[in-house]
Chains A and B, each alone.
Chain A
């Protein structure tokens, strides 16, 4: 016992060393257990909490015009991501304040978009610069909030082409149901126009990125140097047949009117310009759209959302006369030399139809030249309804053409149609008289008339009008042409020559109805038309035409609503556009187009430098205060 009590004895030392070994031995055993036995399990757990999978959005395909000018490109846009289980009430309140909204809205968005509590979700796109700066500044306080740079659509300020391009917007829940698995709430999808029609090509494929997130749920850096990531494949670029310069000029010339212009290449059906007035700014729908702004456009009495080029329908008026002539000549009811006497009016069964004047003896060429109604009243009566319908169908009237934008319902009357309206065999002959001069129940749209005019211009081949010429396949690096319908209508050359001569006379021979379209250096052939707009309203003015006369490069249809006679308003617009397309020169008195658009060889670089274009930035500054 004496030894045990002594100061610093070996026993006491051993007791302490024993304790030391016991403790450190236990620690070693614990380290073996934690690190060597359960190590991989813990590693999985740390990765599960520290590594998150974030969806990386592809860049949507750009859209170029026929000369390579970008029409729709992408500019940087900032998106707010939220990790639901990391978001604290404080950071939620702060986020709401920065986004100038309330926490109820934030909660709604989270509920709407979240798939689980742990994955970051996009709750707010297109944060403005000021909001972006604030979010960065207060990043450390914004627990569970991240901000990523993505892109949004930018429309070149030069043209609007609203009805062609359409717009992109956040997908709705119904659309997710319709479009399938690829989409998740919060995705952006093409809502109209080409953006919608070519959604599958433009959107690309989403990628995935694994990022390390810190204890505040915020992205720190990429995981494993990005080796596990799947890079998104960007959308395919589209090359349109559109001539941005021509489109711009057409939009400008239509300004102030209600109407439409469709110009196409008669040799292949490529749409060179398609304008509808009034129109709207497509940038309005990109990113965040305020309710007021939307309602203002939607409730505008001028119906800017309506694409008059394809969705509005009118009787074709006298532009129909070439079709009647072709039918009569082909079916043998008349010969080029056949003449009919025009006394200035036509009477049938007690009803009288007027003509524009007393034309005397007219053959078919002259009848087109002076737009003699009596000639075609009689021809229509001779041919009957079946021939009328047959040739209307030949030129694809009465049905949708398959253009890449929505088309309205048109009507080509037929025997069955009138049997249905009046009862079988009970309908009056006078109906046919009206149809013969393009009036009556028939309904066409400017696109149909432009395609018809293109077929006349090229000597009888009907091409399906289309906007997209080619698609750039990013994966293969190739540019693939898109195939469209082409159909030889089987009209003889001799007949087409007569039609061409008549259309030549309309513009270039005194007494024609479209002298206003005449130019000294470029020969235009065309035909005016007047569509009845109903009682008390001024008629709609048509003008269809093509040029140059011997080797047509452009065919066009111009419609100006409620303007009266076609030659007065529509023909000069067509003349100016044709001159521009063929010479790149605008008429005096009209401001010249931007040089970039005038010079077809000056190809813009494919990608716009971010934020380089002041105008584009400006147009994207939509107030984010309302949703």
Chain B
């Protein structure tokens, strides 16, 4: 048996020490939100407006959400843990209701019907559904006798986590849907699913991406995958099965690219592989983004002096390409600051997760870390040309009220669960 009692499913609320507070996570979060506000201000202010014009409305609305986010974060940090646990199912159900509502009454923005507009408030249900889904998964994992090493439990977690995906695909919001898959992988990893299995699932994706670059790249990727699989020292049959999946994926990529993908999807892939193919069309964002980041140099061009940002060479920069702002105006220093802060936040979340008795709390903390890492990896990777363009916001920095509110609420949960942190670590 483990050194830890897995059976203690419900930690007493009183065990949370009021003196124990995760100031580091709070400070890192506040710093990220502040950088986000500065970046949005820079990307949206009108350089030609007079001194009386006041700050841009986009910035002001984000500021209001940030203040709301702080209130939500602090409130959640001190909520009795039981209340959180109890609200998991209602939140999960409410998420479904909202996703259905958005399909029925939603508003189309940028070709996706993923907004609910209620007077001045506009909200993206997929954000809230993400939150509820993670809590629901935590509740399930926490239940006695659940063990993700058996197929039945894996199937149930899959059902819980991937349940909202069809609704999200109807919007269609491909980017948000991928978050659920990653969340599932994360929960499975943390909750004890077989590592070889997980690797066998992730590896084909890597091989497929390599295959897009060319046959040589694909063979190298397959070699690396095989090497890793051999390190697991599983039986020949299992290893061959897992490796076979990657091989099939690698060789079918070409066919899928040619015959299954829509032209616009193909264009995105092409652009990712070579942005200069179509510098005024599909490659425009990537090229302009790279120019913004690269031209920042070591210390940047100065606040409100980034030519790419101020001259609006990157359309809608304040949403998906916000990372260009700190990197252009504050250079390598600014870019690394954001990376280190995000890395620290994720690391702190994982660290908290590994010091919690409750599997519910631990799963949620780890899930939050996974969500943040995925968002950061895709969004920043996109801005610096390492990942194809996908509509995934950068946590705390990208403009978007519901996203900011939910991200800060998730930090609220991190702060809350930190109170139950033990000095013991999971083995």
Contact = CB atoms under 8 A, between A and B. Distances in A.
B298 interface: yes
Contacts of A32: 332
Given A6-B426, A220-B48, 16 more contacts: A7-B191, A8-B190, A16-B366, A19-B373, A20-B373, A23-B381, A24-B339, A31-B332, A31-B384, A34-B290, A34-B384, A35-B294, A42-B291, A42-B293, A42-B295, A215-B315
A10 interface: yes
A43 B362 contact: no
A7 B343 CA distance: 23
A36 B167 CA distance: 44
A213 to B, nearest CB: 7
Sorting the interface of chain A by its residue count into under 10, 10 to 19, 20 to 34 or 35 or more gives: 35 or more
Contacts of B73: none
Most central of A7, A11, A51, A215 by chain B CB within 10 Å: A7
Contacts of A38: 294
B335 A7 contact: no
Given A6-B192, A215-B312, A13 B350 contact: yes
Nearest to A39: B297
Interface string A34-78: 111011111101110111000000000000000000000000000
B117 interface: no
B332 A36 contact: yes
A5 B297 CA distance: 45
B336 interface: yes
A43 B294 CA distance: 7
Chain A contact residues: helix, strand, loop or mixed: helix
Contacts of B292: 46
B381 A27 contact: yes
B295 A4 contact: no
Given A8-B353, A31-B327, A20 B346 contact: yes
A26 B377 CA distance: 10
Interface in B32-85: 47-48
A269 to B, nearest CB: 55
A46 B328 CA distance: 11
B369 interface: yes
Interface string B188-202: 011111110000000
A40 B294 CA distance: 8
Contacts of B48: 220-221
A5 B192 contact: yes
A484 B194 CA distance: 105
Contacts of A45: 291, 295
Contacts of A216: 312
Nearest to A42: B294
B354 A40 contact: no
Contacts of B290: 34, 42
A398 B414 CA distance: 105
A526 B82 CA distance: 121
Chain B contact residues: helix, strand, loop or mixed: helix
Interface string A313-339: 000000000000000000000000000
B181 interface: no
A4 B2 CA distance: 11
Interface of B: 2, 6, 47-48, 141, 147, 149, 186, 189-195, 290-298, 307-308, 310-313, 315, 327, 331-332, 335-336, 339, 342-343, 346-347, 350, 353-354, 359, 362, 366, 369-370, 373, 376-377, 380-381, 384-386, 425-427
A112 interface: no
Nearest to B193: A5
Interface in A191-228: 212-216, 220-221
B332 to A, nearest CB: 4
A15 interface: yes
A482 interface: no
A393 interface: no
Nearest to A22: B377
A226 to B, nearest CB: 15
Interface string A500-521: 0000000000000000000000
Contacts of A12: 189-190, 192, 195
A51 B359 CA distance: 57
A43 B332 CA distance: 14
B223 to A, nearest CB: 18
A27 B386 contact: yes
B336 A50 contact: no
Contacts of B141: 7
A35 B291 contact: no
Contacts of B327: 31, 35
Contacts of A8: 190-191, 353-354, 359, 362, 366, 426
Given A17-B350, A221-B47, A215 B149 contact: no
Contacts of B2: 6
A15 B343 contact: no
Most central of A5, A16, A30 by chain B CB within 10 Å: A16
B359 A7 contact: yes
A39 B296 CA distance: 7
Contacts of B350: 13, 16-17, 20
Given A23-B377, A220-B48, A4 B195 contact: yes
A441 B301 CA distance: 80
A199 to B, nearest CB: 37
A7 B190 contact: yes
Given A27-B380, A46-B291, A220-B47, A7 B311 contact: no
B298 A36 contact: yes
Contacts of B347: 17, 20
A573 B104 CA distance: 92
Most central of B141, B296, B380 by chain A CB within 10 Å: B296
B297 A43 contact: yes
Contacts of B346: 20
B297 to A, nearest CB: 4
A35 B297 contact: yes
Contacts of B386: 26-27, 30
A33 to B, nearest CB: 9
Contacts of A23: 373, 376-377, 381
A38 B373 CA distance: 27
A115 interface: no
A3 interface: yes
Nearest to A26: B386
A28 interface: yes
A77 to B, nearest CB: 23
Given A39-B296, A46-B291, A5 B311 contact: no
Contacts of A16: 186, 189-190, 350, 366, 369-370, 373
A34 to B, nearest CB: 4
Given A8-B354, A8-B426, A23-B373, A40 B313 contact: no
A382 interface: no
A34 B335 CA distance: 11
A27 B296 contact: no
19 contacts: A3-B427, A5-B192, A6-B192, A7-B191, A8-B426, A9-B427, A16-B369, A27-B380, A31-B332, A31-B336, A36-B332, A39-B295, A39-B296, A39-B297, A212-B310, A212-B311, A216-B312, A220-B47, A220-B310
A442 to B, nearest CB: 69
Contacts of A26: 386
Contacts of B193: 5
A212 B307 contact: yes
A47 B310 CA distance: 12
